Amino acid sequence: MIMKRKGLILASILIMMFYVNSFAQEQQDENWRDYEVSINAGMSMPSGALKDWYDSLGAKSGMNVGISGGRYLNAKTCLGVYFSLIQFPIENKDFALHYNLYDIGAYAKYAFADESNFEPYVKMKLGADFAKFATWVGPNKTTLRELSYGAGLTLGVAAGAMYYTSDVGGLFVELGYNMAKLKDNEVEYGNVYYKLQDDVSHLDVKAGITVFFGKE
């Protein structure tokens, strides 16, 4: 797990350096778009500890929905903000509660833009995940409740591609990896404190629509 965290942080630093270098080289590029707005939905797959959460309460693949908006610094580099909801059902079908993550933050995106209708891109995000997780509560921990554990730092990287369906937007697909620093976050319920056992990581597959606004 430590190696995965170090690798993710290193990859994020390298991507950010790539963004900065690209921006410096391309400041003179004609910027034909000023803003982008995107909406998306897809599937999220738990990884790491979340797959075996408290042994009997492992998470299974769930859904994600989100919205984002950003401003282009040049023709290829965009900085923006986003909000996503990720919801994982409990693998045991006897329980109808969920693990919910409310993810809000900022992103940096580099698009490999040219004259083609097909535009690949890479993205890095930094934000906060607010966790509302199913938890055993009560004197004998026999009752399941969704408790809010507050926020933890989240870091994510993604790669995707957009296909232009018009001059001002198109459809995209995206694959990303996210890690939220939530270990030891705690909440008080019924005069008892409950603590999250580990950090939370997951893979996301998204599809959505992006619309551009700007000079054209």
The residue extents of the domains of the chain are: 2-213
Whether residue 6 is predicted with pLDDT greater than 90 in this model: the reply is no
Cα separation, 141 vs 54, in Å, equals 12
**What is residue 113's predicted lDDT score, i.e. its pLDDT?**
84
**What is residue 10's predicted lDDT score, i.e. its pLDDT?**
53
Q: What is the CATH number of domain 2-213?
A: 2.40.160.20
How many C-beta atoms lie closer than 10 Å to residue 3's C-beta?
Answer: 7
Whether residue 121 is predicted with pLDDT greater than 90 in this model: the reply is yes
Cα separation, 149 vs 165, in Å, equals 42
In Å, what is the CA distance from 13 to each residue of 5, 7, 26, 124? Answer: 12, 10, 20, 9
72: phi > 0 → left, psi -120 to 50 → alpha, else beta; which?
beta
Whether residue 24 is predicted with pLDDT greater than 50 in this model: the reply is no
Reported pTM: 0.83
What is the mean predicted confidence (pLDDT) over 95-122? 93
Name the average pLDDT for the chain: 87
Whether residue 29 is predicted with pLDDT greater than 90 in this model: the reply is no
25 vs 69, more confident: 69
Q: Which helix (H) or strand (E) holds 18?
A: helix 2-25
**What is residue 146's predicted lDDT score, i.e. its pLDDT?**
93
Whether residue 111 is predicted with pLDDT greater than 80 in this model: the reply is yes
58 vs 25, more confident: 58
Whether residue 33 is predicted with pLDDT greater than 60 in this model: the reply is yes
In Å, what is the CA distance from 121 to each residue of 61, 139, 152, 216? Answer: 25, 51, 27, 22
Strands (E), 33-142: 35-47, 62-72, 77-89, 98-111, 118-137
The listed range with the strongest mean pLDDT (16-30, 53-67, 71-85) is 71-85
Whether residue 122 is predicted with pLDDT greater than 70 in this model: the reply is yes
Tell me which residue of 176, 187, 138 sits closest to 154, measured CA to CA: 176
Lowest average pLDDT, out of 8-17, 70-79, 107-116, 161-170, goes to: 8-17
